[in-house]
Homo-oligomer: A and B are copies of this chain.
Amino acid sequence: MTAVWQCQEVTSSPTGAVRQGSLRELNLAVVLRRIAAADRPPSRAELAADTGLTRATVSAVVDDLLGGRLVAEADYAPRTGAGRPARGLVLADHGPAGLGLEVNVDYLAACVVDLAGTVRHHVVHRADLRPVSPADALTRLAALAADARAAAVREGLTLAGAALAVPGLVSDGGLVRLAPNLGWRDVDVPALLAGHRLTEPVDGVPALVVENEANLAALGELHAGPPGTASFLHLTGEIGIGAGIVLDGALYRGTRGWSGEIGHIPVHPEGRPCRCGGRGCLERYAGQEAVLAAAGLAGADLPADTAAARLAELAEAGDPATRAALADAGTALGVTVAGVVNLLDLDTVVLGGGYAPLARWLRPPMLAEITGRVLTAAWSPVTVRPAALGARSAAVGGAASVVRRIVDRPAGWLTRAG
């Protein structure tokens, strides 16, 4: 007769109290999500049938959304037969938008994504940022952001929030604890960007989110990739190796936001020493440095994306050293991914970042290891495919996550808009 739980703060579904107004607030989100997820502009009647709400309620909710300029009416082409024609509903292309930013080793990027998920503005500024101080780098980034904001305003968009992708570990509050390849340590990004107003304040959407690059790239893939893939592992191969883990349609960030350090999963426990202090980490076998060295390009010191392009070129030309290097990297990746799939029961692995252009050569050895080692591979195969957005998807993923938050919680935007 032992008590099994006494004072557990288990938040298995972290639903807070439901107030009077929460009802409308929640239904706004339900309806808006359906509109966002539909493959053609749905009518009010269809929304009512889908959600289980009455047509009266849906009409009222849609009126709110129309008034707040989050959705617009569109023609509803496919006429089925008799009856009054439906008015299709689409996400507005002139309402709130998200600002996506990225600081990486050899480029800065800024982009604007609207509610419908369309990339309306995208600039990449190439520059070696390793010798630049964090403050200067962020000042340059703020200039890009200002341009992006001007572009958004020109198109009638309001920037509702920003997400900044950084190749490193980020604490709550946007503190970059460590970004080894950038040479950053304990950089307080929000403080350094405080002088520049990047976006308009909107209730429920944080003004600036700083997040690991691999995580945001995975979110980009979630939004851009084929529908139906709610859980997957997204690998970003740059100088380090990052993994973005998407489970049931949501990014898994870990207890402190430091998930995804797949580059330091041991592949050969007694193998090559790693700068992390461990031995035999994946990074030492499938990281860019290791692949370049094996391909005979050590010390070339190419920018990250150029390196991947060069490797693809050589592999395409049939260079045996490059082919062998990629095969070995693919095997190491496959061994690690097989373990991850055994643990997490995923059915999709996406090759992003620098791996995207090399997918053709990495995929076969990866699949060989996976099918040989994954317990359930016999029942249902694991898909390995290149990222839909390719490299540099982190900024777009970040911008998409901003507008996604508005779709998930439109009440904040509506109260703001009056």
How long is the Cα–Cα vector from A346 to B259 in the complex, in angstroms?
8
Please tell me if the beta carbons of A4 and B400 are within 8 angstroms of each other in the complex.
yes
* Chain B residue at smallest Cβ distance from A282: B339
Q: How far is the CA of A4 from the CA of B394 in the complex (A)?
A: 13
Stretch at the interface among A5-13, A189-197, A300-308: A5-13
The reply to whether B11 and A230 contact each other, CB–CB distance below 8 Å, is yes
A26 CB within 8 Å of chain B: yes
Q: List B contacts of A389 (CB < 8 A).
A: 4
Chain B hits for A10, CB < 8 A: 37, 222-223, 230, 249, 404
Q: How far is the CB of A170 from chain B (nearest CB, A)?
A: 12
Please state if B404 and A12 are interface contacts (CB–CB under 8 Å).
Answer: yes
| Complex: A227 Cα to B19 Cα, angstroms | 28
Decide yes or no whether A340 CB sits under 8 A from chain B.
yes
Tell me the smallest distance from the CB of A403 to a CB of chain B, in Å.
9
Contacts of A143 in B (CB 8 A): none
Are A276 and B408 closer than 8 Å at their CB atoms?
no
In the complex, A354 Cα to B19 Cα: how many Å?
Answer: 47
Flag A2-26 by CB within 8 Å of B: 1 or 0 each: 1111111111111111111011001
Q: Report B-chain residues with C-beta under 8 Å of the C-beta of A176.
A: none
CA of A250 to CA of B408, assembled, Å: 21
Which label, helix, strand, loop or mixed, suits the secondary structure of the A interface? loop
Beyond A230-B10, A231-B255, is A343–B4 a contact (Cβ under 8 Å)?
no
B373→A266 contact, CB < 8 A: yes
Contact A255 B120 (CB under 8 A): no
A342, B376: Cα distance in complex, Å: 24
Q: Write out the residue numbers on chain B whose beta carbons fall within 8 Å of the beta carbon of A396.
A: 4
| A224-B4 contact given A30-B16, A339-B265, A343-B243, CB 8 Å threshold | yes
Q: How far is the CA of A30 from the CA of B20 in the complex (A)?
A: 14
Q: Smallest Cβ distance from A417 to chain B, in angstroms?
A: 22
Chain B residue numbers with a CB within 8 Å of A14 are 248-249
Contact partner of A51 among B17, B22, B276, CB < 8 A?
A: B17
Q: Is A27 interfacial (CB 8 A cutoff)? A: yes
Find out whether the CB atom of A255 lies under 8 angstroms from the CB atom of B335. no
Q: Does residue A345 face the partner (Cβ distance < 8 Å to B)?
A: yes
- Taking the closest CB of chain B, its distance from the CB of A150, in whole angstroms, is 18
A53–B4 CB distance below 8 A: no
**CB of A325 within 8 Å of the partner chain:** no
Chain A residues numbered 367-386 whose CB sits less than 8 Å from any CB in chain B: 372-376, 379-380
Cβ A18 vs Cβ B8 within 8 A: no
Contact residues, A260-283 vs B (CB, 8 A): 260-262, 264-269, 276-278, 281
Structural contact, B13 and A23, CB atoms closer than 8 A: no
Given contacts A53-B17, A269-B335, contact A264 B342 (CB under 8 A): yes
Contact (Cβ within 8 A) A345 B257? yes
Contact residues, A178-225 vs B (CB, 8 A):
220, 222-224
Residues of B with C-beta under 8 A to A257: 345
Given known contacts A276-B375, A277-B373, what 15 new A-B pairs fall within 8 Å (CB)?
A3-B116, A4-B117, A4-B396, A7-B37, A7-B38, A10-B404, A16-B52, A231-B254, A231-B255, A247-B252, A265-B338, A265-B339, A266-B373, A268-B268, A269-B335
Q: Which 6 A-B pairs have the closest CB atoms?
A: A254-B345, A265-B339, A7-B39, A4-B117, A278-B373, A5-B117
List 28 A-B pairs, Cβ < 8 Å: A1-B118, A4-B220, A4-B223, A5-B36, A9-B227, A9-B228, A12-B250, A16-B51, A17-B27, A17-B52, A18-B22, A19-B53, A22-B23, A23-B23, A169-B376, A177-B379, A253-B345, A254-B344, A256-B347, A256-B380, A257-B345, A261-B375, A265-B339, A265-B342, A266-B335, A266-B339, A278-B338, A281-B373
